[in-house]
Structure 1
Amino acid sequence: MKQLKILLTVSLLINLISCKAQTLPINTALTEIPAGAHLKDTNNELSPFVGTYKADFNGNEIILYITKQENKLEESSHKNYYMDALIVKYIVKNSIGTVLQDTKNNNSYNIEFYSIDIPAPNMVGFLYSGTNCSVGWGEINLKKISSTQISWEYRPDDITTTAAKCPPTLDTTIYLPETKDLIFTKQ
């Protein structure tokens, strides 16, 4: 009898250890995601966006470095879950080559820029946390228009209200292009 209890206990522990979190498609609605779930890029919709892209806008050169991260922890006040996501780092330079903002090589910026949904075929929606004091936070959409080009749309939230709450010593300039239909070319 004692050996049976030990065997059942060991079997139960093995089952618990081998259980995996529920895997769901990447575009599952937030209300449908159980805590601990994994939103998986099962249809490989994110990979075509991975790479280095460049565009010029109003005299500035913008370089996007897009990578794919599997199992990114998404923490919210309601639940935590994991998701496959595109992570964007960037460098913005002015016309004479001076770096205005660099999130690729400079970790002092606390800027988040990662994918949160797929609103349409060949399109990925991103959350952008903004610069200092969250100035410019909002949504950025990238649309794949060819194997070497993506179209950019950035819609920042209310900039003036957010900037007014920021200490005057901090740079609240939004260096990313606030525009629609800007074409980035893969390098």
Structure 2
Amino acid sequence: MKNLITILGIFFVFYCKAQQYPLNVNFTTVPNGSYIKDTNNEYNKFIGTWKANVGNKAVYIYITKQENRPITRLNKNFFRDVLLIRYKILVNNQIVEDTMNSSNDMVNTISMGTQIDGSVIFDYKGLKCLIGNGFITLEYIDSTHLKWNYQPQSTVVTNKNCSDYPANGIKINLPYETSDIIFTKK
């Protein structure tokens, strides 16, 4: 019986190891239960606190890495190392939006993987009623600078298609007006 358990344990270790894939793999090509791992530590250079000033806004992004996050996409279940963005936005030194205290499960900006040029693309789930949902691309320039590009998919929501739409509206505070905003590491 001990031999059987030992053999099954060894098989499990090798089986799990064989199911690991690098970050840039297309998730549709991996089997269910696979682990898309940051094997080359490509994400580490993005981790930290970054700041950009855009007009009267000060935007702080806090990037952390979560390993082995369960993901479900297109009826596929797998695990992936991801970057999470929490942010704080001040307008005229007043906080207008702050996701700093969001748990990992509640973060609404999660990396989807790397691109050929080494940049990282994020899925941003948006605010109430999904306003502002879209994609953010971060490009690593050097150890103290990132280039930010945010493309919101929805910028207009009304009370017609969002039952709990606030009377004063929903404003996207993340910078999208100009592209290629430079963030500096703090």
* TM > 0.5: yes
Which deviates further from its counterpart, 172-181 or 18-27?
18-27
Structure 1 runs (4+) deviating above 3 angstroms are 6-13, 15-19, 161-164
Q: 1:34 matched to which residue of 2?
A: 31
Q: 1:65 matched to which residue of 2?
A: 62
Q: Deviations over 1:163-187 (max 9, x none)?
A: 7522232752211001311110000
Amino acid aligned to 1:131? L
Matched, 1:82 2:79: yes
Q: 1:174 matched to which residue of 2?
A: 172
Aligned residue among 138, 145, 149 for 2:141:
145
Matched position secondary structure for 2:129: helix
Instruction: Note the residue ranges of structure 1 that are not aligned, 5 or more in a row.
Output: 1-5
1:13–1:106 Cα change, 3 Å:
closer
- The structure having more radius of gyration, on CA atoms, is 1
- Structure-2 separation of matches of 1:7 and 1:128: 49
TM-score (norm 1): 0.86
1:29–1:89 Cα change, 3 Å:
same
Q: Deviations over 1:62-81 (max 9, x none)?
A: 00000111111112351211
Note the C-alpha offset of 1:7.
5.7
Contact 1:75–1:81 under 8 Å retained in 2: yes
For the aligned residue pairs, the C-alpha RMSD in angstroms reads: 2.3
Q: 1:91 matched to which residue of 2?
A: 88
* Identity score, percent: 34
1:173–1:26 Cα change, 3 Å:
same
Note the C-alpha offset of 1:43.
1.9
Contact 1:23–1:38 under 8 Å retained in 2: yes
Contact 1:135–1:162 under 8 Å retained in 2: no
1:146–1:7 Cα change, 3 Å:
closer
Q: 1:158 matched to which residue of 2?
A: 154
Which deviates further from its counterpart, 43-52 or 10-19?
10-19
Which deviates further from its counterpart, 136-145 or 20-29?
20-29
